[in-house]
Structure 1
Amino acid sequence: MSVIYLLLSLSILVAIVFFIAFIYSVKNGQYDDSYTPSVRMLFEDELVKEQPEELTKTKH
């Protein structure tokens, strides 16, 4: 039974260490996306077609 307490304590300790490491890496910008802005200009924007005024006005 004491082995279960030991393993439970160690697993909680390891989980806390990984959580602290995750928070530290997020705060230091580890997960910032530096690739997408550099290739964004390579993708064409979708053309937005404007509707003519005659179609947008309701007919009475």
Structure 2
Amino acid sequence: MSILLLLVPLALMLLIVAIAAFAWAVRGGQFEDLETPALSILADDEPPVANESPERRDDA
């Protein structure tokens, strides 16, 4: 029964830390734009430039 004297305050402190982290993320704008990151995977990459020459290495 004495373990409850340790676990209940520890759980309450953990809850306060979680709420504070969530509030900090909301104030920081982490949840403002939920659609753009999901759509960025659908965007085409830029085509490679054909005039670029590969780098040469001299191992001599």
Task: Calculate the TM-score normalised by the size of structure 2.
Answer: 0.54
Partner of 2:9: 9
Aligned length in residues: 37
Secondary structure of 2:31's aligned partner: coil
| Residue correspondence of structure 1 range 1-60 to structure 2 within 5 A | 1-35=1-35
In proportion to residue count, which structure has more helix?
A: 1
User: Share of identical aligned residues, percent?
Assistant: 38
Instruction: Report the alpha carbon displacement of residue 34 of structure 1 after superposing the two structures with TM.
Output: 5.0
Q: Which one has a bigger Cα radius of gyration? A: 1
Unmatched segments (≥5 aa) in structure 1: 40-60
Unmatched segments (≥5 aa) in structure 2: 40-60
Q: Which runs of at least 4 in structure 1 moved beyond 2 Å after TM superposition?
A: none
